[in-house]
Structure 1
Amino acid sequence: MKSVSEPLVIMILFMTVVLISLSIFFFSTFSVDATTASVEYGYVKSLFREIAFSIPEILNGQTVYTRHPSSLVALGFKKIPVNLTIRLELSNNSLIQAFNKTEFYALTGGIRRNVLEDVRGSIVYGKNQTVVNEIEQLALVREYYYNGWTMIELDTARIYYSMYKIGPSNYYLEILIADFGGFYNISEPPTVMGTGSIRLKYEPYYASVSEFSSVQNLTLILNQTVITLKDILPPNHTIDPVTGSLTVRIVYKKIAVLVS
């Protein structure tokens, strides 16, 4: 009986050692994978923040080129449907549609696991507003958890404006709209995973500039937000309909993005 039980004991001990070894192996692999995911996502998060911070310089002609050494984070684009319309009322009471846009693009990154402290997500850079009066706030970076993925997005789906007073009752309003394009001729650019690069460059070829004088009022609609001239004018400022004037300049710029 003793001779029969010894091999069984040895087998049990052997299987126990194997199970413990496998447990250690899989735990170590999971730990390394979790650490890699956290580090790589953190790198891409910092990268998106730096790109957002550089948007004003890119729009002024600076080219940004950066590497993304990543094996787990996928990069790509996301289409954002919008209803953006700018209507102007001129001094002769005529109404014109000065600008219309139905979509923006967001630069995206995603990793198939949760690496967020709060799955509800947060704003990484910028302000989630429809209209901003500081060009540094034109870009927005946000992160969130969705359907097994941690996602991070960088977009410029908002309006930047600057207003200047010229003389006693004359104003000049510039509205800037910027969007990501791409070196792609398809509506769904490919998702890129692995070590590569991102290049962002302002393309003057796609820019459009429209200027309107003798503007009496404007209505800016972006999705559910409606803004009129009185919302943009400084407090206690009005434009005299007889002696005053308003010139509106609408500038659209596209940033070409190459993800490879």
Structure 2
Amino acid sequence: MNGVSEVFSTILLTSIFLALVFMLLPFSYYTIMGSVAKTEYEYVKHGFYSIATYFPMIATGGEYSIDFPSQYTSRGYIETGRIDIYLNSSSQPTLSFPCMALTQGASVGGAPRGLLYGVDTYIVNDSRMIPRIYEYRDGNGLMIMTLDTCRLLLDVNIVPTGNYSGYYYVLTYYNLTISFRGSGSLRIEPVRMYTVYSNIGGNLWNITIVVSDYILGKSFSYSVIDLVKMGFGKEYAGIPFSLTIVVEELVVEV
């Protein structure tokens, strides 16, 4: 009887052990897969940081490429905002720039961190502040990370003219175009630059720039005074004698 009891006990313990193994297998699988997805997502995040860091080099004619894994994360693009420029007191925008963003999505845990790189203003005087990386959760619960360039770069040149100085303002918009090749790499490079507006010696007071940020759900308005403050640090320091608006096209191949 003792032998039978020992065999029965062994069978019972083995059955319990196997039941526990089969119960824990799905949990272990999803835990491991979640860890792999998180690692891949963080790797891509560092890749986005690298693009943002090297952006001044890219904008001046350079090229940047990086390999991205895509087994547990997915890349895409969305329209994250819009820049409308109103000239000569017009009721309709004279120039409109839709802002596209490269996106990376993954089913990972943790709280989104919001702004990861960049600034919360939309007219900047340093090309390092053009890129923005933002993290949020979408309506399906996926963690989404975006990389956009929905900003205007302001450059002011002072040209002495006799007893006066002329202030030449240049606004540059960097337009991202996303092109999908289905590869595991990403490459970004500028393809062309062109002027969309130029006014010398005209009435430059009636300029309004409205930036709509779809991610934040907010709009921001800028006037000539804001341009002057950005260019010189205070109001009325150098009223623009000339304004040129330039677009640089950047192609992102993924």
1:211 lines up with 2:198 in the alignment: yes
Q: Any idea what the Cα deviations from partners look like across 1:63-115, whole Å, max 9, x if unmatched? A: 111111331111121123425224157xxxxx79885225211000010232x
| Residue-by-residue CA offset, 1:144-200 (whole Å, 9 max, x unaligned) | 1222211110001121212233233420101011121134xxxxx69x6xx701111
Equivalent AA in structure 1 for residue 189 of structure 2: K
The answer to whether the 8 A contact 1:113-1:148 is kept is no
2:143 partner letter: T
TM normalised by structure 2 equals 0.81
Partner of 1:55: 55
Q: Secondary structure at the match of 2:241?
A: strand
Instruction: State which of 200, 208, 217 in structure 1 corresponds to 2:188.
Output: 200
Gaps of 5+ in 2: 213-218
**Alpha carbons of structure 1 residues 207 and 97: separation in structure 2 relative to 1, 3 Å:** farther
2:120 maps to what in 1?
128
Structure 1 partner of 2:17 = 17
- AA in 2 matched with 1:149: L
Please tell me whether the aligned partners of residues 109 and 153 of structure 1 are also in contact (alpha carbons under 8 angstroms).
yes
Alpha-carbon distance in structure 1 between the residues aligned to 2:178 and 2:38: 28
1:175 corresponds to 2:171: yes
C-alpha change, 1:239 and 1:88, in structure 2 (3 Å) is farther
1:232 to 214, 220, 227: 227
Q: CA deviation at 1:201?
A: 1.3
**What does residue 216 of structure 2 align with?**
none
Alignment of 1:140-151 (within 5 A): 140-146=132-138, 147-151=140-144
* Inter-partner Cα distance in structure 1 for 2:116 and 2:3: 68
Aligned equivalent of 1:160: 153
How big is each residue's C-alpha offset from its partner over 1:115-138, in whole Å with a ceiling of 9 and x where there is no partner?
Answer: x3x34x321111122222211111
- Mapped contact 2:190–2:248 kept (Cα < 8 A): yes
The answer to whether the 8 Å contact 1:88/1:215 transfers is: no
* 2:115–2:135 CA contact under 8 A, matched in 1: yes
Do the aligned residues in 2 keep the contact of 1:88 with 1:96 (CA within 8 Å)?
Answer: no
Give structure 1 stretches of 5+ with no counterpart: 90-94, 184-188
Please give the residue correspondences for 1:87-98 in structure 2 after superposition, counting only pairs within 5 Å. 87-88=87-88
Q: For residues 224 and 154 of structure 2, what CA distance do their matches in structure 1 show?
A: 12
Displacement after TM superposition at 1:4 (Å): 8.7
**1:39 aligned residue:** 39
Whole-Å separation in 1 of the counterparts to 2:127 and 2:202: 24
Partners of 1:166 and 1:34 lie apart in 2 by: 59
Structure 1 pair 68/50, CA: closer, same or farther in 2 (3 Å)? same
**CA distance in 1: counterparts of 2:54 and 2:86, whole angstroms:** 27
What is the alpha-carbon root mean square deviation over aligned residues?
2.9
Shift in Å at residue 16 of structure 1? 0.7
Q: Where do 4+ consecutive residues of structure 1 move more than 4 Å?
A: 1-11, 95-99
Looking at structure 2, the residues matched to 198 and 164 of structure 1 have their Cα atoms a distance apart, in angstroms, of: 35
Which range is displaced more, 39-48 or 121-130? 121-130
1:139 partnered with 2:138: no
SS of alignment partner, residue 34 of structure 2 = helix
% same residue: 22
